């Protein structure tokens, strides 16, 4: 009998589960849980946060804030993780809130937030937005309109001009707070380019056979996936005079200008001037540059955090963590340059921001604002931007010696100054940009395919979405 | 014939136990399946009729299905799925059968061979994908470098056909033991004496394979083909971990397309509609197979 | 003496040749991964690539040991897969016993419908499961993973266990029935002891499958402390700082427990396989 009883117990437990599921139903709203951690030293304003206090309305003080970032502060592995982990106690001290940081891998951050918002799950109070996917969040309505808050925030006047355009939707409302800016640029080894680095695509193609003969790729980088489309393809298309989308968001990439871009990459791959991994998924493309097998690297200001250890063609090694790039620059064996330009045209760089957003469904808004107000003060802003390889948006933070005096950052800032944001594609952003990357990769790898026809087909399809 | 008689012992029990069929023993499994399998699936199918934005569901009727049918990516993914599944199926079944026949000869080393061939199937798809993409990494992958002189430094992982071949090879590598064990199970039911007497009658091994083995493993063949093609059609983890559907969309099978639609594009309505379409394809295939092979 | 001696030798060569070839084909990626995991960061990227590490080191494993893989991911995987496999086997045993021994109106249809669940693509329930988990307040818990896993693996478990029960002779049960035992007593006292190799095999197969499960885990778990090993590895793979020796070391660490499990259970498992655990 007892055995029967045991099995019956399991069975009845299941019934309970089943009834719970039926009772809650799909329509039950998500409950925002707020861990009841006691605030420690809630009333301890610090020197770093002088302006944040007055803007907080005198409502109940929030006790905790939950973040979703790419940084693992649980078990910090990279230098970025460690810096942020060390910063958390400061944030807790300054805001009097318990900070719970949950790391998400970079390629799942957006998907996870989208699922959480759309399916009514646990959304974080603060979400790390990469504004290259701002269109995705805007289209799905994942972020709250925070226009009023931003315009009255203490750091508003300090923001870099135009930084906000990265967070502004087509409806003119602001959905996130840009904390730092990044841009694409080129790293190269001057020892392989004794006559200077080529400014345009045809100059590079003219110089490439020499490098090939010496056993080097002229250039590497990534043209695949959304990432490649944004930072490698789009700037070059713009430089040639083409565009992804017009002002209304209609796709217009099937143009002779884009054809020239595809032809350029086709030539690079066909002649072996660039490794074929520029077309593959992932980041294998960076290894030829990191090991001194490629002369230059289409990348961005953020890459300095990842390009280590670095070994130059001459065999010099830089294995100093995130400082490797800076050290190589100071040693004169590495240089940065603006992105390649079309023949006879100016170089175009594209910028985007890392920003803080408040997801739809968050009720703990005061906590989110308190967090943002703190990280937008000079020191945290500078620290955070630095670890991501970005330029801070707060004017005061730019006076930080790391930015003001460094050769690298001066170079980055000069490239960033002339940079433009992505074309306004809002609905189906990821799908459209990925389609572009996929189309270009396919055309680059198939030397016989008709480029314009291929682009045309993809364009029509994307314009017929919805 | 053989199977029917041995598999249905219930014939003898039937009458006596008529009053005491403990059908309630089915309930844990059935309730689990109802609550955690059927109900969510029906809910997904309901989602396929709508669009979710900002956490709100709007009913759009069959528009998601219309969008799928108008989408060239979908048709392209179907053809990739067909290529992938066809190669995967034929090679898995062919080699699986050969391996099973060889296992069935039983020599001293058989257990060792079985263990070796079994190992890939206990690896995670992510681990397998990591291993395979690493072997074919363009600059440092050991197989890529070994092959370089023969293929003119053609980076396999970066080329559409090469990437597809790698993905297929990796999938076969991972699933081959399953089909071979399936066939081995069926071969075990053939008594040794049957072969011996056939051999005495002068039948060649080729002939005895077709006359004796094939009819007996025919039901297993059906199951193997069915399960392998369903696996092929729904395969996802290994493709994602090896190529992510790339380069371009070269290895974007319908399952990967579904993953991208749901996860990357956040288009849950269309993703749900796609999963309905895939389910229908699976069912049609199953019916066709059963019709063809039952004969 | 139909076959000549030469033919027998030839047959043996073919058998060992083919099986040997396949064994190497199957093992090569694993061994290569093992070798890569024992290289140091620099030796991973040498040209031409070497198979054996020029210098044997545990550097990769040191990185892995310090990561969340050991701290969270492996224990999570262990709990989820073990508990779910146990529950699945228990439920499936009860169900497949009934299917094997009793015929009732619609039993065949019911069985076929359960097998038909195989045909639902795994991704179908992505949003539904997330919602179910949210509504039950079970996001990021072991409970929801175990529930989902149990449901996902039940059809497979019922399918293989059914074959095992079919292979167990019925006469003993009939005798017990005459003695007046209830069907549950018969199952527990008479049939189950005979079915243990089958149950173990089913458990092993399901445990391994769930240990490696990726899709549901990646969707339903957003907290770092709840993640499972394959999800953790996927993250390893997708971060910018690719360290191949660590990546391969992590792969080896993840597969090791399963290999050990199979080595321990190899006798039961392979004899069950040789007798045809997976049957039509």
- Cα C37 to Cα C59: distance, rounded to the nearest angstrom: 8
**A220 and chain B in contact, CB less than 8 A:** no
**A461 and chain B in contact, CB less than 8 A:** yes
Burial class (CB in 10 A: 0-12, 13-18, 19+), B128: buried
- Cα C18 to Cα C8: distance, rounded to the nearest angstrom: 15
The helix/strand/coil state of A221 is coil
The helix/strand/coil state of A34 is coil
Facing C45 at nearest CB: one of A17, A287, A305? A287
Interface touch C155/B33, C-beta < 8 Å: yes
pLDDT of residue B48: 92
Residue ranges matching CATH 3.40.190.10 in chain A: 57-181+351-414, 183-349+422-463
Average pLDDT over residues C208-230: 89
Confidence of residue A266 (pLDDT cuts 50, 70, 90): very high
* Under 8 Å between Cβ of C63 and C246: yes
Domain spans, chain B: 21-61, 72-294
Average pLDDT over residues A22-46: 36
The DSSP H or E segment spanning A185 is strand A176-188
- Cα B219 to Cα B210: distance, rounded to the nearest angstrom: 15
* Under 8 Å between Cβ of A365 and A348: no
pLDDT of residue A226: 84
pLDDT of residue B280: 93
Domain at B72-294: CATH code: 1.10.3720.10
* Under 8 Å between Cβ of B278 and B105: no
Domain at A183-349+422-463: CATH code: 3.40.190.10
Confidence of residue C279 (pLDDT cuts 50, 70, 90): low
Confidence of residue A286 (pLDDT cuts 50, 70, 90): confident
| Residue B250 predicted with pLDDT over 50 | yes
SS3 labels along C118-176: HHCCHHHHHHHHHHHHHHCCCCCCHHHHHHHHHHHHHHHHHHHHHHHHHHCCCHHHHHH
pLDDT of residue B257: 93
Confidence of residue A53 (pLDDT cuts 50, 70, 90): very low
pLDDT of residue A339: 93
Cα distances (Å, whole numbers) of residue A210 to A190, A217, A270, B112, B139: 14, 10, 16, 54, 21
| Residue A27 predicted with pLDDT over 50 | no
Q: How far is C126 from chain B (nearest CA, A)?
A: 8
* Under 8 Å between Cβ of A340 and A261: no
- Cα A71 to Cα A285: distance, rounded to the nearest angstrom: 23
Who has greater pLDDT, A433 or C272?
A433
pLDDT of residue B45: 92
| Residue C220 predicted with pLDDT over 80 | yes
Average pLDDT over residues A301-317: 85
**What number of other Cβ atoms are within 10 A of residue A404's Cβ?**
11
Give the best-scoring range by mean pLDDT among A37-41, B92-96, B200-204, C40-44.
B92-96
Confidence of residue B3 (pLDDT cuts 50, 70, 90): very low
| Residue C241 predicted with pLDDT over 60 | no
Interface with chain C: mutation pick from A108, A225, A284, highest number of C CBs within 10 Å: A108
**B255 and chain C in contact, CB less than 8 A:** yes
Facing C19 at nearest CB: one of B3, B113, B241? B113
- Cα A88 to Cα A374: distance, rounded to the nearest angstrom: 11
Average pLDDT over residues A12-41: 39
pLDDT of residue B197: 76
- Cα B183 to Cα B223: distance, rounded to the nearest angstrom: 10
Q: What are the tens digits of pLDDT across the range B74-102?
A: 999 999 999 999 999 999 999 999 999 88
- Cα C56 to Cα C54: distance, rounded to the nearest angstrom: 7
The DSSP H or E segment spanning A234 is helix A234-240
Question: How many Cβ contacts (< 8 angstroms) between chains A and B?
Answer: 131
Q: Quickly tell me which residue has 């016989």 as its tokens.
A: A448
Contacts of C224 in chain A (CB under 8 A): 72, 74, 102-103
- Cα B280 to Cα B269: distance, rounded to the nearest angstrom: 17
Token pair of A451 as six digits: 């480029």
- Cα B93 to Cα B223: distance, rounded to the nearest angstrom: 11
The helix/strand/coil state of B117 is helix
pLDDT of residue A125: 93
Interface touch A275/B263, C-beta < 8 Å: no
The DSSP H or E segment spanning A337 is strand A335-337
Q: How far is C235 from chain A (nearest CA, A)?
A: 6
pLDDT of residue C242: 62
Tell me the average pLDDT of chain B: 84
Q: What are the tens digits of pLDDT across the range A364-373?
A: 889 999 999 9
The helix/strand/coil state of A243 is coil
User: What ipTM does this complex have?
Assistant: 0.86
Contacts of C242 in chain B (CB under 8 A): none
Q: What are the tens digits of pLDDT across the range A62-71?
A: 888 999 988 8
Q: What are the tens digits of pLDDT across the range C168-202?
A: 888 877 777 777 777 778 888 888 888 888 899 89
Radius of gyration, alpha carbons of chain B: 23
- Cα A252 to Cα C57: distance, rounded to the nearest angstrom: 54
Q: What are the tens digits of pLDDT across the range C111-153?
A: 889 988 888 888 888 889 988 888 888 888 899 999 999 999 9
Q: Are β-strands A64-69 and A317-318 bridged in parallel, bridged antiparallel, or unpaired?
A: unpaired
Q: What are the tens digits of pLDDT across the range A379-422?
A: 889 988 888 888 899 988 888 888 888 888 888 888 888 888 87
Interface touch C23/B112, C-beta < 8 Å: yes
Confidence of residue A26 (pLDDT cuts 50, 70, 90): very low
pLDDT of residue C211: 93
Confidence of residue B187 (pLDDT cuts 50, 70, 90): confident
Reported residue count of chain A is 466
* Closest residue in B to A272 (Cα–Cα): B153
Interface with chain B: mutation pick from C91, C124, C232, highest number of B CBs within 10 Å: C124
- Cα dihedral sign for A422, A423, A429, A434? negative
- Cα dihedral sign for B177, B178, B183, B187? positive
**C183 and chain B in contact, CB less than 8 A:** yes
| Residue A145 predicted with pLDDT over 90 | yes
pLDDT of residue B107: 78
Residues 6+ apart with CB under 8 A from A331: A316, A318
- Cα dihedral sign for C213, C218, C221, C226? positive
Q: What are the tens digits of pLDDT across the range A84-141?
A: 898 899 899 888 899 999 888 877 888 889 999 988 878 899 999 988 888 888 888 8
Who has greater pLDDT, C167 or C204?
C204
Confidence of residue B6 (pLDDT cuts 50, 70, 90): very low
Q: What are the tens digits of pLDDT across the range C53-77?
A: 888 888 889 888 888 888 889 999 9
| Residue A51 predicted with pLDDT over 50 | no
Distinct helix (H) and strand (E) counts, chain B: 16, 2
Facing C67 at nearest CB: one of A75, A115, A120? A75
Confidence of residue A39 (pLDDT cuts 50, 70, 90): very low
**B94 and chain C in contact, CB less than 8 A:** no
Contacts of A140 in chain B (CB under 8 A): 53-54, 266
Reported residue count of chain C is 280
Token pair of C25 as six digits: 């084909």
Q: Where are the alpha helices (DSSP H) in C5-139?
A: 5-37, 41-44, 59-66, 68, 74-101, 107-116, 126-135
- Cα B224 to Cα C179: distance, rounded to the nearest angstrom: 41
**B291 and chain C in contact, CB less than 8 A:** no
Q: What are the tens digits of pLDDT across the range B110-155?
A: 888 888 888 898 888 888 988 898 888 877 788 888 888 887 777 7
Quick one: what percent of chain B has pLDDT higher than 70? 93
Q: What are phi and psi of A355, to 5 degrees?
A: -140, 170
Facing B138 at nearest CB: one of A139, A275, A437? A275
Interface touch A115/B266, C-beta < 8 Å: yes
Q: How far is C72 from chain B (nearest CA, A)?
A: 17
Average pLDDT over residues B182-205: 77
Closest CA to A396 of A376, A415, A412: A376
| Residue B20 predicted with pLDDT over 70 | no
Q: How far is A453 from chain C (nearest CA, A)?
A: 33
Closest CA to C140 of A21, B35, A29, A121: A121
pLDDT of residue B291: 86
Interface with chain B: mutation pick from A133, A142, A262, A445, highest number of B CBs within 10 Å: A445
Token pair of C277 as six digits: 């655990």
Report the CATH superfamily, name and number, of domain A57-181+351-414: Periplasmic binding protein-like II (3.40.190.10)
- Cα B11 to Cα C115: distance, rounded to the nearest angstrom: 23
Token pair of C216 as six digits: 């549901």
Contacts of A3 in chain C (CB under 8 A): 184-185, 188
| Residue A79 predicted with pLDDT over 60 | yes
- Residues 68-127 on C with a CB inside 8 Å of B are 90-92, 94-95, 97-104, 110, 114, 116-127
Average pLDDT over residues B14-40: 77
- Cα C80 to Cα C212: distance, rounded to the nearest angstrom: 11
Interface touch B243/A360, C-beta < 8 Å: no
Confidence of residue C103 (pLDDT cuts 50, 70, 90): confident
**B4 and chain C in contact, CB less than 8 A:** no
Average pLDDT over residues B17-43: 83
Radius of gyration, alpha carbons of chain A: 25
Facing B105 at nearest CB: one of C15, C147, C230? C15
């Amino acid at each position: 009998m007892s055995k029967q009883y045991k099995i019956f117990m399991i069975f009845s437990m299941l019934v309970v589960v089943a009834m719970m599921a039926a009772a809650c139903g799909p329509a039950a709203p998500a409950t925002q849980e707020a861990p009841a951690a006691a605030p420690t030293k809630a009333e301890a304003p610090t020197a770093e946060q002088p302006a944040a206090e007055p803007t907080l309305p005198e409502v109940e003080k929030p006790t905790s804030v939950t973040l979703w970032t790419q940084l693992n502060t649980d078990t910090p592995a990279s230098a970025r993780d460690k810096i942020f982990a060390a910063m958390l106690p400061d944030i807790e001290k300054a805001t009097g809130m318990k900070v719970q940081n949950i790391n998400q891998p970079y390629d799942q951050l957006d998907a996870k937030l989208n699922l959480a918002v759309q399916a009514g799950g646990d959304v974080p109070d603060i979400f790390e937005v990469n504004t290259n996917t701002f269109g995705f969040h805007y289209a799905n309505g994942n972020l709250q309109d925070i226009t009023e808050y931003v315009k009255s925030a203490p750091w508003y006047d300090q923001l870099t001009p135009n930084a906000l355009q990265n967070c502004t939707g087509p409806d003119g409302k602001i959905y996130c707070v840009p904390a730092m800016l990044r841009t694409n640029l080129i790293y190269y080894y001057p020892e392989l380019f004794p006559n200077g680095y080529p400014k345009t695509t045809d100059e590079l193609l003219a110089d490439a056979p020499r490098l090939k003969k010496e056993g080097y790729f002229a250039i590497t980088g990534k043209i695949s996936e959304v990432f490649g489309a944004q930072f490698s393809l789009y700037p070059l298309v713009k430089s040639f005079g083409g565009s992804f989308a017009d002002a209304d968001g209609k796709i217009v990439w099937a143009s002779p200008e884009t054809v020239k871009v595809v032809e350029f990459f086709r030539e690079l791959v066909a002649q072996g001037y660039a490794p074929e991994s520029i077309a593959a998924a992932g980041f294998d493309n960076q290894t030829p540059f990191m090991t001194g097998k490629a002369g230059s690297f289409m990348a961005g200001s953020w890459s300095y955090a990842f390009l280590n250890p670095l070994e130059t063609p001459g065999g010099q090694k830089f294995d100093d963590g995130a400082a490797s790039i800076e050290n190589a620059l100071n040693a004169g064996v590495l240089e940065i340059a603006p992105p390649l330009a079309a023949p006879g045209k100016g170089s175009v760089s594209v910028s985007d921001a890392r920003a803080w957003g408040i997801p739809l469904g968050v009720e703990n808004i005061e906590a989110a604002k308190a967090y943002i107000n703190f990280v937008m003060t000079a020191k945290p802003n500078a620290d955070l931007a630095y670890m991501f390889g970005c330029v801070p948006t707060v004017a005061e933070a730019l006076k930080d010696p790391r930015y003001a005096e460094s050769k690298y950052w001066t170079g980055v800032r000069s490239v960033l100054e002339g940079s433009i944001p992505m074309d306004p594609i809002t609905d189906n952003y990821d799908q459209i940009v990925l389609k572009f990357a996929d189309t270009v990769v396919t055309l680059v790898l198939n030397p016989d395919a008709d480029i314009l026809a291929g682009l045309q087909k993809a364009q029509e399809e994307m314009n017929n979405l919805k | 014939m053989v199977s029917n008689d041995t598999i249905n012992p219930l014939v003898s029990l039937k009458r006596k136990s008529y009053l005491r069929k403990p059908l309630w023993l089915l309930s844990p499994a059935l309730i689990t399946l109802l609550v955690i399998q059927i109900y969510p699936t029906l809910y997904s199918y309901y989602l396929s009729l709508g669009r979710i934005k900002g956490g709100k569901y709007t009913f759009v009727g069959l528009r998601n299905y219309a969008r799928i049918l108008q989408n060239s990516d979908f048709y392209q993914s179907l053809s990739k799925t067909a290529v992938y599944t066809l190669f995967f199926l034929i090679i898995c079944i062919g080699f699986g059968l050969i391996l099973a026949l060889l296992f069935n000869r039983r020599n001293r080393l058989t257990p060792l061979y079985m263990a070796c061939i079994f190992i890939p199937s206990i690896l995670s798809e992510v681990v397998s994908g990591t291993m395979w993409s690493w072997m074919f990494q363009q600059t440092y992958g050991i197989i890529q470098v070994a092959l370089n002189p023969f293929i003119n430094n053609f980076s396999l992982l970066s080329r559409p056909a090469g990437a597809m071949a790698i993905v297929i090879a990796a999938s076969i590598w991972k699933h081959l033991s399953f089909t071979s064990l399936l066939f081995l199970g069926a071969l075990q039911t053939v008594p040794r004496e049957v072969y011996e007497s056939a051999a005495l009658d002068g039948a060649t091994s080729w002939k005895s394979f077709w006359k004796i083995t094939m009819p007996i493993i025919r039901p297993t063949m059906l199951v193997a083909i069915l399960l392998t093609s369903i696996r092929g059609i729904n395969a996802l983890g290994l493709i994602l971990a090896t190529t992510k559907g790339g380069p371009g969309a070269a290895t974007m099978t319908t399952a990967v397309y579904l993953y991208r639609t749901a996860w990357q594009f956040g288009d849950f309505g269309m993703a749900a509609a796609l999963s309905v379409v895939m389910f229908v394809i699976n069912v049609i295939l199953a019916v066709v197979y059963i019709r063809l092979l039952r004969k | 003496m139909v076959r000549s001696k030469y033919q027998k030798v030839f047959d043996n060569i073919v058998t060992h040749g083919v099986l040997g070839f396949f064994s190497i084909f199957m093992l090569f990626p694993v061994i290569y991964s093992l070798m890569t995991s024992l290289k140091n960061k620099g030796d991973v990227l040498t040209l031409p690539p070497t198979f054996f590490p020029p210098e044997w080191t545990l550097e990769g494993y040191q990185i892995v040991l310090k990561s969340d893989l050991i701290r969270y991911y492996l224990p999570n995987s262990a709990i989820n897969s073990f508990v779910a496999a146990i529950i699945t086997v228990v439920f499936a045993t009860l169900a497949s016993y009934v299917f094997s021994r009793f015929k009732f109106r619609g039993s065949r249809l019911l069985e076929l419908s359960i097998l038909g669940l195989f045909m639902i693509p795994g991704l179908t329930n992505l949003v539904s499961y997330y919602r179910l988990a949210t509504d039950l307040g079970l996001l990021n818990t072991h409970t929801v993973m175990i529930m989902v896993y149990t449901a996902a693996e039940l059809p497979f478990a019922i399918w293989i266990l059914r074959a095992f029960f079919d292979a167990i002779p019925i006469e003993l049960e009939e005798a017990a029935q005459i003695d007046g035992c209830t069907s549950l007593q018969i199952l527990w006292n008479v049939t189950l002891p005979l079915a243990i190799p089958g149950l173990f095999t089913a458990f092993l197969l399901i445990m391994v499958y769930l240990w490696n499960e990726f899709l549901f885990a990646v969707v339903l778990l957003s907290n770092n402390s709840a993640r499972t090993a394959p999800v953790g590895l996927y993250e390893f793979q997708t971060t910018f700082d690719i360290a191949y020796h660590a990546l391969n070391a992590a792969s080896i660490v993840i597969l090791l427990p399963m290999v050990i499990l199979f080595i321990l259970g190899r006798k039961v498992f392979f004899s069950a396989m040789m007798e045809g655990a997976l049957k039509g």
